[in-house]
Structure 1
C-alpha cells in the first residue's frame, strides 16, 4: 500500500511548480441547460428530466486542437478536463456505464481526443473525476447533502449498496489510468460531511484508490480532495500526511491572503482554481467575466505567494469555448509572451510586498511587477545598491539605470530604478523589471 515519501514527492512536483499556470475545463451535458454544472442539485431536478440533455448532446463544433492552441497561446502549461462531473455523465468510453459520450449522438470518446490534442501541443494533461455521482443507483440519494433527490423521501436509500458504487468508482478510475496513456494530474472532487454522513478519506476506500492510481501512473500528481475540499488544508497542513492526502492544496475561488504554510511554518504547494465568470460549467446568462488585466494580476499574486493558478473555461453545448473567454485568454497570452519568465519557475521573493505591485523570484533574479507608477524613480525596497548586479526591462531587455541625485540621498537604504521621464508605465496592467543580484 502506498505511503508518503518526501523525496519522491518533491521530484514529481518539480514540473508543476515550474508550470504555475493551467487551464481547467468544465464540460458535459449540463452545457445544454446552460445554468452551470450543478444545475440538477439546486433545482432538485429529477433524473428523467435531466436525461433529455443526454439524448440531445451533440457537440458538432468540438475540436480540442483549438482548445489546446488557445491554452498554449495563453501561456498555460497544463490542463484538467472533467472526465466525469457530479451528474455522473462520462466524457470517456467507460465499459462500466451507458451514461457516456460514446452513447450520445456524437458517438465519440471526448476524453481521448482532448488528451491527444493537448499532448500534441506539448501541454501536460490532467483529468477531473467526481467522487459524487447523482446518476448511479447505489450512490446515496435521500438525505445526502448534495444529491438532487435529497429531500424526496420516495428516493429512499433502502436497497442501495454503497460498496457497489465504490467498486464502480474504483473501476472507472482504473480505466482512466490504464486506457489513456500517461496522465500528469488526477483531480478528484470532492469530500464532504461529518459523522454518520462523512464522505471523506476512507469512506471512498481512499488508501486503496491512491495505491492503485500511483501503481498505474507513477509520478502522477493528485489533488487533496479525497481528504477535504476547497474549505480545508488536510493532513499535509498537520505535517503528518495521510496516504490519501494528495500532493497540493486546492483553494477554490480565493487566493490565500498570505499564501499557504503548514502549522510548522513550512511552505505548502497549492493551486487556486478560479472561474473566468461566476460559473464553472457553461452558463448562458453569466456575462460577469473578469478582464484579462485582472487575471494577469491574480496569476502574479498566486506566483508571488508560491502557488499556481488553474483558470477555468466552460465550453458550450456545441463544444466552443465562449468568445469572451477566448478574448481573455488571448489578452493573457500577449502579456505572457513578453513576461512569462517572471512566472515560470518563480515563487515567493521572501521580501515585503511593495506598494506598487508584487515581486516574484527565481534564484538570484527578482521580478518587480509594477501595477502603478511612482513620482520620480521607482523604489526597489528591500535591496541595497551593493546587492544589485543589473536592472532590465523584461519586455525589451533594455538596461535601467540606478537613479542618483539629491532627491534620493535621503533614502540611502533604498535602491531607486530610473524608469525615465514618462509617468505612464509601458504596460498599464503590469510592467515587469528584472533585477539580477550579485
Structure 2
C-alpha cells in the first residue's frame, strides 16, 4: 500500500508527521513566580495567601527580556520548536487575555510577551506551541479548592463550569490571534477533575475547529495526539493497543526539581547526560522537550546556556542521526549506547567506548554493506559476521566523549530478531543492568553510570525506581539470586525487594484515572512474589553478594528489583543480578 503523500494528508496529519521528525524542543516556564525564585509551585508549597501573591505582578518588570536571544539559544541547541507557559497553575496569563486583568500586560512590563516570543521563535524557523494549565489557583470558579485554602476561600456559590467558559475564551484567543502558532495545545493540571466534569472533549473539539492542524496532548485526560511522560524516560517506546508507535514527548528539566526559576538550585544534569538522554528518547521513538526557567529580569541563567550550547556543538556533527529517524529495531544491546534508524541506515550511538574496541549488533539478519564514523571524511570501519550478530571494530579513541556515532548501511530495512536472555551452558542466568529496563514514576532518578569501564545502575535515590529483567529458564526451580552491587561506607542496611512475575498496574491520578494513559510508569500489585534482603557496606567496591532464593517458572520470567527503604541517602549501585540454580 502506497504511503500518503503530504498533499493528501490532513493538516493535523501533516503536523503529526513534522513533529515525529522534529525530535527536540525547548520548554519555557516563566511567570511572576520567578520573582520569588523558588519554582512555579511556590504559591501552594509555601501556602501563600492570594492577597500576598497578588503583590507580585506590580513588581514584574523584566527589563533584560529579549525573546530574540531565547530563540537564538534554542536554534543553537538544535531545537526545532518551543512550548511556552501561557498560563500556569497560579492562573497568571503571560498573554494579553481579554477576560481578565490577572495578566502580564497589567504589570510594569506592559508587553504581551507571548506575542513577542512567538514572533521571535517563528522568525528563527522554530514552530511554537502553547502550554495551558487547566488548574487555576486564582480564578474564583475553579474547583476544587486547594486543601489549605478551603476555609479562607469557600467553594459555595461557585460553579466550575463558569471557569470552563473563562478557559474556553482563552483557548479561542490562543487558537486565533497568534497565527501560525500554536502547533500544539499543551495542557497541564488536568489531574484533579475528570474530563467530562470540565467538558474536555467539547473544549478540544472547539480548538480543532478553530485550528485544524493543532496537536493536543494527553493532560486533559482525553485521548488525543500526544503522550507526555514527565521527569522520566519510559524504558521502551510507547505503543497503542495494536502495538503501533504512539506520538510521545518526554518533558524534563535540566535541574533536580522545579521547572520555574529556582535561585537555590545547585544540581544540574551534565551536558553529557543531556545528550545521551536525547539519544535515548529518540531511540525509543520519542521527542525531548527540555526545559529552561528564565530569571525574573528576563535573562537565561548561565547553567542553561552552557548546556544548550554544548548540545548544539554535538548536534552540529550528529543531527543527521537524530532528525527524521525512527526507533531502534533492537530490544537489547550488549554495549552502552543506543540505535536510531533511517530507512536502510542504522545510526549506532556509542556512549561508553568498549575496552575490546568492538560493538556487537545482535540478531541482525541483513547484510551490512558499509560502516563508517559520522565524522569528517566518514572514515570506514571493519566489520564481520559472527553467528547471528555483526561485530564492528572501533578505532582506539572515541571521537566524542558524550556519544560517538557509527553509520551502518544495510541491504534494506533492518530485520532484527528479538534478543531472549537464557541460561548459559553452566545453567546460570546472568542479568547485567544493560539488559534490564530502568524505570520509575514522575521524578525518576535512577540512571546508567560507568566505573572502570563497566556500566551500573546508579543515582538510586528514589524508592519507587526499579530495574526489571525478562528472561527464560528451561524448567521450574529455585535459583540463588546474587547482586553485583556497591554500597558506600556506612551506607548499608537499605532494603532490597525482589518482585518475581508480579502483575503491574499504571499509577493513578487524583481524579482516579490512569496518569498519562500508562506512560507515567507502573507499580507492582497483588500477585507478585516479594522477597526482601538488606544491603551491606562494601566500602564502595563492587562485590557479588547472595541476596535471596527465588522460585522461577518454566519459560518466561520477570524480576523487578527495588529499594523501597533507604538506610541512608542512597540505595546502591548495581551492575547486575546473577541467578544460579539451587540443587
Same fold (TM over 0.5): yes
Q: CA deviation at 1:65?
A: 0.6
In 2, the alpha carbon distance for the partners of 1:175 and 1:290 equals 37
- Measure how far apart 1:267 and its partner are: 1.7
Find the counterpart in structure 2 of residue 395 from structure 1. 375
The equivalent of 2:151 in structure 1 is 153
Partner residue of 2:58? 55
Q: 1:64 aligns with which of 67, 73, 81?
A: 67
Q: How far is 1:134 from its partner?
A: 1.0
Unaligned regions of 5+ residues in structure 1, if any? 1-6, 194-198, 228-243
Q: Equivalences for 1:368-407 in 2 at 5 Å? A: 368-382=348-362, 387-403=367-383
Instruction: Tell me which residue corresponds to 2:93.
Output: 90
- Contact kept? 2:364, 2:390, Cα under 8 Å: yes
Instruction: Indicate conservation of the 8 Å contact 2:339/2:348, yes or no.
Output: yes
Aligned counterparts of 2:143 and 2:249: Cα–Cα separation in 1? 30
Is 1:205 matched with 2:199? yes
Question: Residue 296 of structure 1: SS of its match in structure 2?
Answer: helix
Partner of 2:138: 135
Partner of 1:234: none
Matches of 2:243 and 2:154 in 1, distance apart? 47
Partner of 2:28: 25
Native 8 Å contact 1:20 1:344 kept in 2: yes
- The residue number in structure 1 matching 2:544 is none
Q: Report the alpha carbon displacement of residue 263 of structure 1 after superposing the two structures with TM.
A: 3.3
Report the CA distance between 1:401 and its aligned residue.
Answer: 2.9
Equivalent in the alignment of 1:233: none
Post-superposition CA distance 1:411-435 (Å, at most 9, x none)? 3443332323x2x311111000111
The structure 2 residue matched to 1:163, chosen from 161, 164, 182, is: 161
Q: Are 2:101 and 1:103 aligned? A: no
Paired residue for 1:296? 275
Structure ranking higher in helix proportion: 1
Query: SS state of the match for residue 210, structure 1?
Result: helix
What TM-score does the superposition give when structure 1 sets the normalisation length?
Answer: 0.87
Name the residue aligned to 2:464: none
Residue 119 of structure 2: which of 98, 116, 127 is its match?
A: 116
- The answer on 1:418 being equivalent to 2:416 is no
Q: Which residue of 1 aligns with 2:185?
A: 186
- CA displacement, residues 319-370 of structure 1 (integer Å, 9 cap, x when unaligned): 1111100000001010011001111111212113322311111111101000
Deviations 1:142-169 (A, max 9, x none): xx3xx3x644413211111222111100
Name the CA shift for 1:275/1:89 in 2 (closer, same or farther; >3 Å): same
Give the 3-state SS of the residue equivalent to 2:55 in structure 1: helix
- Greater RCO (CA < 8 Å, at least 6 residues apart): 1
Deviates more, 1:172-181 or 1:368-377: 368-377
TM normalised by structure 2 equals 0.66
Which structure features the higher share of strand residues?
Answer: 2
Q: Which residue of 1 aligns with 2:209?
A: 215
Aligned runs of 1:338-353 on 2, under 5 Å?
338-353=317-332
Q: Distance in 1 between matches of 2:331 and 2:175?
A: 43
> Does the aligned pair in 2 maintain the 1:400–1:418 contact within 8 Å?
no
The total of aligned residue pairs comes to 400
User: Cα distance 1:130–1:315, how it changes in 2: closer, same or farther (>3 A)?
Assistant: same
Q: Tell me, in whole angstroms, the C-alpha distance in 2 between the residues paired with 1:384 and 1:107.
A: 60
SS in 1 for 2:316: helix
1:274 to 221, 245, 252: 252
Match of 2:54, SS state, is helix
CA distance in structure 2 between the partners assigned to 1:223 and 1:29 by the alignment: 25
User: Alpha-carbon deviations, 1:50-88, whole Å to 9, x = none?
Assistant: 011111000111111100000010010010000110101
- Aligned CA distance change for structure 1 residues 153 and 392 (closer, same or farther; 3 Å): same
CA RMSD of aligned residues (A): 1.9
